[in-house]
Chain A
């Protein structure tokens, strides 16, 4: 048996791949659910009900999807240019910290929408700066950014811990390690009344549109795609590789930083070291399930959010541990990678 490269990758195959991957992943995980003593059909039905069974459930799923859209977009943008940004988690926390820190002391003068916009921009700058370092190290010294961006995550989370125990500690929180809250007037309005779903979802969707336009319609996008697919040919054609990579890094880091900012401005209002249940890492899965396409990121983020929100409810109803959500997500990533392999290669006997 051997792999033979296909002459061309068909668009329908690329569209089908994520669905096939998800189905395979659900089928494989059904085995684990059976092992836990529950019928997989019941478990998956409970999961769907948990994620979409009530108005509250639906809003909760989309609240969960909001940061995933942004971290997924961050990973997709970087991976397209072959910049392996594994540091979405750290960039998210940095963005969250900046929003909380500045948003607490920002008072008077500015109208609220402008202040919120400024906070988001500042958080994006923080996320961008965090990824610019590893990108620069790679350009100058060939340092592997997978290692640096991954390790930065731990540093940033420890730094957040330092801040919420120290300078940014909320004196009104009865000793809990959480940061000072952002000013009440700066919180994002709810999208659906009496729910946690907030305007941040619209911001995330707007980011998707902007990224799509930048990638597919601008000169920078065309050059970045060329550089990602064949760096030597791009350089020959006059694309400044270093500058393009740095701009991609800023865009990617900025998107992850924006995710953190929106989490603070939306559902939580302050920063803790448990703000993100791995949104940055899940963003990698989202990006791959979307085959790195910005629009696909929305669907993939909703899928991952469905699994996580649904798994909690399913766990309560059936007793299957909610860790199954992590397993489903991980297996779907592996299945997607396999599916992508089959879109470019066929198996020959």
Chain B
């Protein structure tokens, strides 16, 4: 039998009336990759915080290599060889990689810093585990993938033998995620044991040896990855069968939004390069690509936040190239931003104010400059009802909504106005399966209602399932559109690698 390096024994944790973890028991074997799978709110992060000592459990114990860990002491966890890589990185952007790694691990009062020895050690770790890092780079200059690598090296530098990763791919593009999992695989060969948290089925299937499924704070199943299937896991995770809705073919109408030669320079960088696309009534046009290839610029232009240097954007023949967000909203353009928290909502305002903020200056919602509060609240209540926004009333602070419900609010306030054109920028990023299915259903309903939708997505499955036509974005340039029925994974992969350009040249 394999050696158990980590055991969680009957852990229970309550927050007031809410039970986050109930009687959770699981273990991690030497040298394996264990996935902890569950929807948002299933209690995964709470469990990891107990394990690492950020929270103390109401009942139960944590054992590392058979020894009980004193509760509530992160230092004890570190000393026992547990390393944690948080979902949101804990690095100082203005310090170098080396400084970030050694900070906190050497006494403050030492007159000399042992940075030379640390540098050698870091380079050694990097070589052994295949984690290339430059100790002298400034963390602020690194990509998210590189920062994550620094976090992992930091844990290893502190002699971690057990690595815990909380949603490690939430911030990564797909190729980066694949690279990460290859690296983790290599690390287990080097004797490390890894536990990662995820709600993404495909990566659990691809990267883990064993899966523990958490639902409603309880362990509902444990499976060997090799002997299970994504459908099986999805059902276990959600508790019912979830099927992402798919597009059914139907005839599309007249062109609604047309871009011709759209070129954008955003912050000194070329964001979009002579992009052409057309979205028609009742059509979803998917834009796929590896993140950082100009999707952000495209989103900013279509939201009215960036002005193109050249090219035109027309809505049913009318030039809208240089209009402000307010003008675009007035013309019936709906916009779902890439980052819900940063751009989608004002978290500290109540739900009703976020529901109407975009349209406050319409006669329905204000008169003589005064907000018609009763009408605005009723409007929000209708949105909550129609778009099934749970856990909230009009007065709830928006920050308290879960990601999925926040997205339903944003989508709802756009769709309620029956937009002729809708920009959906990464509409399901970070959402769990149930919420993804709900968002997809709403997008398809809007499409059936005649809306023209531009879907920007890094999730190929999503793009292929919803789009009528697909274009790839590579370094700010758009490929020719491909009808969805001809867009298999291989074609899309080639398009995202920019191969269409080669073919054009030949």
Neighbouring B residues of A218 by C-beta, 8 Å = 369-371
**Interface membership of chain B positions 309-336, coded 1 if the CB is closer than 8 angstroms to chain A and 0 otherwise:** 0000000000000001110110000010
Does A225 make an interface contact (CB < 8 A)? yes
Does B402 make an interface contact (CB < 8 A)? no
Q: Is the CB of A236 within 8 A of B303?
A: yes
B473 to chain A, nearest CB (A): 21
Interface residues in A, total, Cβ within 8 A: 23
Q: Is the CB of B342 within 8 A of A240?
A: no
Does A167 make an interface contact (CB < 8 A)? no
Q: Is the CB of A237 within 8 A of B353?
A: no
Q: Which of the 9-residue segments A117-125, A227-235, A264-272 touches chain B?
A: A227-235
Does A219 make an interface contact (CB < 8 A)? yes
Residue of A nearest to B348 (CB): A229
Specify which of B344, B349, B370 is in contact with A229 (CB 8 Å cutoff).
Answer: B349
Neighbouring B residues of A8 by C-beta, 8 Å = 397, 399-400
Does A222 make an interface contact (CB < 8 A)? yes
Q: Is the CB of B337 within 8 A of A217?
A: no
Question: Quick one: given A218-B369, A237-B358, are A230 and B325 in contact (CB under 8 Å)?
Answer: no
Specify which of B305, B371, B397 is in contact with A219 (CB 8 Å cutoff).
Answer: B371
A349 to B344 Cα, complex, angstroms? 34
Q: Is the CB of B324 within 8 A of A238?
A: yes
Q: Is the CB of A232 within 8 A of B325?
A: no
A31 to chain B, nearest CB (A): 31
Specify which of A7, A239, A240 is in contact with B357 (CB 8 Å cutoff).
Answer: A239
Does B346 make an interface contact (CB < 8 A)? yes
Residue of A nearest to B367 (CB): A219
Does B72 make an interface contact (CB < 8 A)? yes
Residue of A nearest to B15 (CB): A7
Does B482 make an interface contact (CB < 8 A)? no
> Which residues 394-412 of B have a CB within 8 angstroms of A?
397, 399-400
Specify which of B344, B361, B366 is in contact with A233 (CB 8 Å cutoff).
Answer: B344
Specify which of A219, A225, A236 is in contact with B366 (CB 8 Å cutoff).
Answer: A219
Does A60 make an interface contact (CB < 8 A)? no
A7 to B20 Cα, complex, angstroms? 15
Q: Is the CB of A226 within 8 A of B346?
A: yes
Q: Is the CB of A238 within 8 A of B326?
A: yes
Neighbouring B residues of A230 by C-beta, 8 Å = 342, 345-348
Interface residues in B, total, Cβ within 8 A: 33
A276 to B72 Cα, complex, angstroms? 54
A220 to B360 Cα, complex, angstroms? 9
A316 to B227 Cα, complex, angstroms? 88
Q: Is the CB of A219 within 8 A of B358?
A: no
Q: Is the CB of A220 within 8 A of B72?
A: no
Question: Quick one: given A219-B361, A219-B366, A219-B371, are A232 and B324 in contact (CB under 8 Å)?
Answer: no
B277 to chain A, nearest CB (A): 22
Neighbouring B residues of A217 by C-beta, 8 Å = 370-371, 373
A170 to B501 Cα, complex, angstroms? 82
**Interface membership of chain B positions 420-437, coded 1 if the CB is closer than 8 angstroms to chain A and 0 otherwise:** 000000000000000000
A165 to B304 Cα, complex, angstroms? 54
Neighbouring B residues of A238 by C-beta, 8 Å = 304, 324-326, 328-329, 358
Does A263 make an interface contact (CB < 8 A)? no
Does B232 make an interface contact (CB < 8 A)? no
Does A223 make an interface contact (CB < 8 A)? yes
Q: Is the CB of B326 within 8 A of A240?
A: yes
Does B461 make an interface contact (CB < 8 A)? no
Question: Quick one: given A225-B349, A230-B346, A230-B348, are A235 and B305 in contact (CB under 8 Å)?
Answer: yes
Neighbouring A residues of B303 by C-beta, 8 Å = 236
Neighbouring B residues of A222 by C-beta, 8 Å = 353, 357, 360, 371
A3 to chain B, nearest CB (A): 12
> Which residues 1-52 of A have a CB within 8 angstroms of B?
7-8
Question: Quick one: given A218-B369, A232-B343, are A237 and B325 in contact (CB under 8 Å)?
Answer: yes
**Interface membership of chain B positions 366-378, coded 1 if the CB is closer than 8 angstroms to chain A and 0 otherwise:** 1001110100000
Q: Is the CB of B343 within 8 A of A236?
A: yes
**Interface membership of chain A positions 248-271, coded 1 if the CB is closer than 8 angstroms to chain B and 0 otherwise:** 000000000000000000000000
A322 to B1 Cα, complex, angstroms? 79
> Which residues 50-89 of B have a CB within 8 angstroms of A?
54, 72
Residue of B nearest to A213 (CB): B370
Q: Is the CB of A220 within 8 A of B325?
A: no
Q: Is the CB of A235 within 8 A of B325?
A: yes
A272 to B344 Cα, complex, angstroms? 51
Residue of A nearest to B324 (CB): A238
B267 to chain A, nearest CB (A): 15
Specify which of B344, B397, B400 is in contact with A236 (CB 8 Å cutoff).
Answer: B344
Specify which of A236, A239, A348, A349 is in contact with B335 (CB 8 Å cutoff).
Answer: A236
Question: Quick one: given A219-B360, A237-B358, are A226 and B305 in contact (CB under 8 Å)?
Answer: no
B409 to chain A, nearest CB (A): 12
A230 to B397 Cα, complex, angstroms? 14
Neighbouring A residues of B328 by C-beta, 8 Å = 238
Specify which of B324, B343, B400 is in contact with A240 (CB 8 Å cutoff).
Answer: B324
A7 to B326 Cα, complex, angstroms? 32
Residue of A nearest to B326 (CB): A238
Specify which of A219, A233, A348 is in contact with B346 (CB 8 Å cutoff).
Answer: A233
A145 to B343 Cα, complex, angstroms? 25
Neighbouring A residues of B325 by C-beta, 8 Å = 235-238
B341 to chain A, nearest CB (A): 8
Neighbouring B residues of A233 by C-beta, 8 Å = 342-346
A55 to B157 Cα, complex, angstroms? 72
Q: List 17 A-B contacts (CB under 8 A).
A: A8-B397, A8-B399, A8-B400, A217-B370, A217-B371, A220-B369, A222-B371, A223-B357, A226-B353, A229-B348, A230-B342, A233-B346, A236-B325, A238-B324, A238-B326, A240-B324, A348-B54
Q: Rank and list the top 10 A-B pairs by shortest CB-CB distance, nearest first.
A: A238-B326, A238-B325, A230-B346, A236-B343, A237-B357, A237-B358, A229-B348, A226-B346, A219-B360, A219-B366
Residues of B within 8 A of A (CB): 54, 72, 303-305, 324-326, 328-329, 335, 337, 342-349, 353, 357-358, 360-361, 366, 369-371, 373, 397, 399-400
New A-B contacts (18) at CB < 8 Å, excluding given A233-B342, A233-B343, A237-B325: A7-B400, A217-B370, A220-B369, A222-B360, A223-B360, A226-B357, A230-B342, A230-B345, A230-B348, A232-B343, A234-B346, A236-B303, A237-B358, A238-B304, A238-B358, A240-B324, A240-B326, A349-B72
